[in-house]
Amino acid sequence: MYNGLLMAHSGWRYIVLVLLIVAIVKYLIGWLGNGKWSGFDSMLNRLTPISVDIQWLLGLVVWVMQSWWNNGDRGRAWEHPIAMTLAVVVVHILSARVKKANTDKGKFQAGFWAYLITLVVIAAGLFVILGSWNLFA
Ligand code: HEM
């Protein structure tokens, strides 16, 4: 049970990262190319925060089920959950701003920054646990 959840938490990162990268690239193209905001863009702005929520929840369960990790390094046991909780807060605040923007260009611009900032926070949260900036390590 614990190993299954740990695997799910480890593997789900790829879904989160792919969605973040697709959102960043898609919104940047829309912003710079004066694109038209589509149903797909709205869906991306809904699904990406949900994928982060699922990852957060899986992480919380793994965390509660284990008392310790990293050879008992208590300090680092807090850094990852705190960074990822910040990522959840950031992604929800910023994705709401995308919804509120009232022009297509404004939505693409807000979306680009929302998911770039989220990616940076998540990368920092992964760094403390993977020990490298290689998010796919
Ligand atoms: C929301 C974004 C999150 C992402 C992208 C993420 C990603 C990861 C990744 C990639 C690992 C390494 C797994 C491996 O070694 O294969 C990991 C481990 C871990 N995560 Fe997260 N995590 C997130 C949130 C959280 C939260 C909120 C918690 C706790 C409240 C948490 C608790 C843990 C624990 C306890 C481990 C270590 C498991 C172990 O190696 O024993 N994670 N996480």
pLDDT tens digits, 63-98: 888 765 554 555 557 889 999 999 999 999 999 999
The answer, yes or no, to whether any atom of ligand 1 lies below 6 A from the CB of 111, is no
Within-domain flag for 17: yes
pLDDT exceeds cutoff 90 at 129: no
Domain for residue 74, yes or no?
yes
* Structural domain boundaries, residue 81: 2-130
Q: Is residue 137 part of a domain?
A: no
135 in any annotated domain: no
Residue with tokens 């990790």: 69
- Does ligand 1 come within 6 angstroms of the Cβ of 70? no
Rounded to the nearest integer, the mean pLDDT of the chain is 91
If one counts the domains in the chain, the total is 1
pLDDT band at 28 (very low <50, low <70, confident <90, very high): very high
pLDDT at 79: 87
Which among 102, 125, 119 is positioned nearest to 22, based on CA atoms? Answer: 119
The per-residue pLDDT for 92 is: 98
Residues 6+ apart with CB under 8 A from 107: 27, 30, 37, 41, 98, 101
Q: Is 10 in the pocket of ligand 1 (CB under 6 A)?
A: yes
**pLDDT tens per residue across span 93-115:** 999 999 999 999 999 999 999 99
Whether pLDDT at 135 is above 80: no
Q: Is residue 30 part of a domain?
A: yes
Instruction: Quote the DSSP letter at residue 101.
Output: -
Pocket lining: 26 vs ligand 1, CB cutoff 6 Å? no
Ligand 1 close to Cβ of residue 58 (< 6 A): no
pLDDT (0 to 100) of residue 136: 72
Does any ligand 1 atom lie closer than 6 A to the CB of residue 129? yes
Question: How many angstroms separate the alpha carbon of residue 62 from the centre of ligand 1?
Answer: 8
Which one of 7, 9, 50, 58 would you pick to mutate in the ligand 1 pocket, going by the greatest count of ligand atoms within 8 A of its CB?
Answer: 9
The runs of H, that is alpha helices, within 33-131 are 39-65, 74-100, 104-130
Q: Is residue 100 part of a domain?
A: yes
